[in-house]
Amino acid sequence: MKLAGELKSFQDRLGYEFVRPELLVEAVTHSSVSTANRDDNQRLEFLGDRVLGLVMAEALLVSDDKASEGQLAPRFNALVRKETCADVAREINLGAVLRLGRSEMLSGGRRKQALLGDAIEAVIAAVYLDAGFEPAREMILRLWGKRVHEVEEDARDAKTALQEWAQARKQQPPEYVETARSGPDHAPVFTITVRLDTGESEAASAGSKRQAEQAAAAALLAKLESRS
């Protein structure tokens, strides 16, 4: 099977040349364009998520042989979460080679965080199936680069940190409420407000509810910590 020019260029950005190029084609095929004769990347994404997790768990153990499980777990989550995967996908312009259905293309699918994050995991699985664990590991560590060594000492996401802050003070978990939505249907902007039992609150806006929740939690944490 011969690859189109755009996929050949993508292989250069990826730093890996496929022996079985059909695996790469499957990895960049979204479910919105799959057919009975064309597989999408969902099964590969399932496998790639596990390969990525193993590589990152091993890398974290090697990089800090004194860290406890409690320290390693949030660092691991920071490295494998969808936002990080999507950032890596953007750096190699994975969105440009995705095979999408018309509706996904019109709704900005090439820029969607969840779609990009799933696709990079599918590409990881494709490399793993094409050449085995070591080439996949080498590629992952190269693409993630300094992230592995520079992951924050306390890498808990803001929502987790805020919930632990509230629990430590015997408060109920923070409440997240969507207070506004703007923008076109294909690129909405959500405003989320987070509130504590004490009445403290902060709001933030982002292109997904999850991102807005994290931003609001981070803002409220910053306010609370500035008063301590």
Phi and psi at residue 65, to the nearest 5°: -80, 5
Instruction: Band the pLDDT of 153: cuts 50, 70, 90.
Output: low
Q: Is the dihedral of CA 105, 92, 12, 79 positive or negative?
A: negative
Instruction: Respond yes or no: is residue 49 known to be catalytic.
Output: yes
pLDDT at 29: 93
State the residue for tokens 């939505």.
181
Q: Which value, in Å, is the radius of gyration of the alpha carbons in the chain?
A: 20
Q: Residues 6 or more apart from 200 whose CB is under 8 A from it?
A: 220, 223, 224
pLDDT at 157: 76
When the pLDDT of each residue in the chain is averaged and rounded to a whole number, the result is 90
Higher-scoring residue by pLDDT: 210, 130: 130
87-143 per-position pLDDT tens digit: 999 999 999 999 988 888 888 888 888 899 999 999 999 999 999 999 999 999 999
pLDDT at 9: 92
Instruction: Name the active-site residue from 26, 121, 130, 213.
Output: 121
Instruction: Name the active-site residue from 49, 83, 87, 138.
Output: 49
Instruction: Respond yes or no: is residue 118 known to be catalytic.
Output: no
21-48 per-position pLDDT tens digit: 999 999 999 988 867 777 899 999 999 9
pLDDT at 228: 61
The H or E element spanning position 136 is helix 133-144
**Residue type present at position 77:** N
Across 47-70, average pLDDT: 94
Higher-scoring residue by pLDDT: 187, 23: 23
pLDDT at 1: 63
pTM for this prediction: 0.73
Higher-scoring residue by pLDDT: 2, 56: 56
